Chains A and B, each alone.
Chain A
Amino acid sequence: MLEVLADSFPQLLEGLKFTIGLTILSLILGSLLGLLLAVGRSYGKPPLSSFILIYEKVFRGIPLLVIFFLIFFGLSQLGLGLDPITAAVLGLGLRSAAYQAQIYRSAINSIPKGQMTAALSLGMPKLKSVRYIILPQVLRLSIPGWSNELTIVLKDTSIAFSIGVIELMRQGRYVYVRDPDLILPVLLIIALIYFILVISASKGLNYLEKKYKMAGFEVGVER
């Protein structure tokens, strides 16, 4: 049995590549869009900010599986057929954006109003003030929340299995369907792989959080 397990390992690694790829692409989409949504909701005027609010509510209110099915099967019925990977990145990314917007917005809210006032009083246009004064602080304060979001996206790539993305979970299924005796060991290995990934990612981000801390603004330290 160990031999069969060892033989199937390259297959699992192949799936792992897609799991990691999906995670990275979804996070890029989620972060960029999430940041735009947060800035739009904090600094934008009513039509824009209410539209963003609706977006956030919708994507936080629907299960990921339903989002996947809507994007993959639903859109294809409307003639917009997407390949499974694109659909998975869209689903994960769009949902993550809704959650990340919350993370960034709470960071924006925690930044004293005077920061913006001071930037404006130097003659800095509003957009530049956001870019050079507000955003750098927002990003630093967002690292803990973002780290949490990363682990959620990473783990939820496994749901992409349901729309046919051949990621870690699906490759594992291929292995134990061939040899049903392996179902428990293979699932345990898959669980372990996810666990190791999540732990290492959190460690890495912990390091970033320390490196980019603002003196006197460490999370958890009294000001």
Chain B
Amino acid sequence: MHMLEVKDVHKSYGDLEVLKGISFTMEKGETKVIIGTSGTGKSTLLRCINQLDSPDKGKVWLDGEEITNPATDINKIRQKIGFVFQEFNLFNHLTALRNVSIGLEKVKGMDKEKAQERAMAELTRVGLKEQVQQYPAQLSGGQKQRVGIARALAMDPMVILFDEPTSALDPELIGDVLDVMKTLAGEISMLVVTHEMGFARNVANEIIFMEGGIIVESGPPKQMFQHPEKARTKEFLGKISTLYGKE
């Protein structure tokens, strides 16, 4: 049994078919990176996994449970799937600490003190011990995203989905976020949509290259970078490496 299994997922918006049958699996502790040009359905795929969007066709299993089944309690499932957003989506009216603790309190039913203790621990883990009492508007982009990661971590998810977590950041702030993500690799399963080729090359167990709503090719970073099977993969990786640089 796979930790996460995505099978033949299709999704259309109106006439536009964004996902044309995506299948892959993930095991516990794995880090997988999804790359591809913008508009190829990478974000939609993540949203179809935690059912923020429901697939038109195809199935998703988490830990053996079919979560695309309408009878599944989706709120229970979402607790097990962390989500880190490109635009952070921190709760604007809450401090960093409360941003992390509110899910523990209101979703997991932890008492306030315990929840804040745990939130404190997660914020310390992402290097924000000093900023716990600040509001999102008082934090830098990199700090906001680390709060976002702490918020996901606190729920003890089986897997965290990262939707271009560094795309909205100033170049000099990207490093902080990637460093945190590197420390998580292996400890927690991560499915990361990103253009950060350095991260993909060094941290991922597998790279999935998506284009036009399908998976063009996937494999370990070394194979993908050095001996891609498809010409299109080679072309894309070549282009993006000149753009984003090699690590």
Contacts and interface: CB of A to CB of B under 8 A. Distances in A.
Interface of A: 112, 114-115, 117-125, 128, 132-133, 136-137, 140, 214-217, 223
9 contacts: A117-B85, A120-B52, A120-B78, A121-B81, A121-B83, A123-B107, A140-B93, A216-B135, A217-B92
A115 B137 contact: no
Q: Is the interface of A mostly helix, strand, loop or mixed?
A: helix
B35 interface: no
B137 A214 contact: yes
A214 B137 CA distance: 9
Given A122-B78, A123-B103, A214-B93, A114 B85 contact: yes
B148 to A, nearest CB: 8
Contact of B137 (A119, A121, A128, A215): A215
Given A120-B52, A122-B151, A112 B89 contact: yes
B24 interface: no
Nearest to B87: A114
Contact of B91 (A118, A120, A140): A118
B90 interface: yes
A122 B138 contact: no
A14 to B, nearest CB: 42
B122 to A, nearest CB: 13
B107 A124 contact: yes
Interface in B62-120: 75-83, 85, 87-93, 102-103, 106-107
Contact of A132 (B50, B79, B106, B155): B106
A215 B138 CA distance: 7
A104 B135 CA distance: 23
Contacts of B80: 123
B136 interface: yes
Given A132-B102, A140-B93, A125 B137 contact: no
A124 B75 contact: yes
B89 A118 contact: yes
A117 B89 CA distance: 8
Interface in B24-79: 50, 52, 75-79
A121 B52 contact: yes
A118 B106 contact: no
B92 A216 contact: yes
Which has the most chain B C-beta neighbours within 10 Å: A118, A133, A137, A214? A118
B137 A216 contact: yes
Contacts of B50: 121
A217 B93 CA distance: 9
A114 B89 CA distance: 5
A118 B93 contact: no
Nearest to A125: B75
Interface centre among B50, B90, B137, B155 (most CB of A within 10 A): B137
A123 B90 CA distance: 15
Given A112-B89, A117-B85, A124 B103 contact: yes
A104 B102 CA distance: 23
Given A120-B78, A121-B82, 11 more contacts: A114-B89, A115-B92, A118-B91, A121-B52, A122-B79, A122-B102, A123-B75, A123-B155, A124-B106, A128-B107, A136-B93
A137 B93 contact: yes
Contacts of A133: 91, 102
A128 B78 CA distance: 14
A60 to B, nearest CB: 29
A119 B81 CA distance: 13
Contacts of B82: 121
A115 B89 CA distance: 6
A217 B151 CA distance: 22
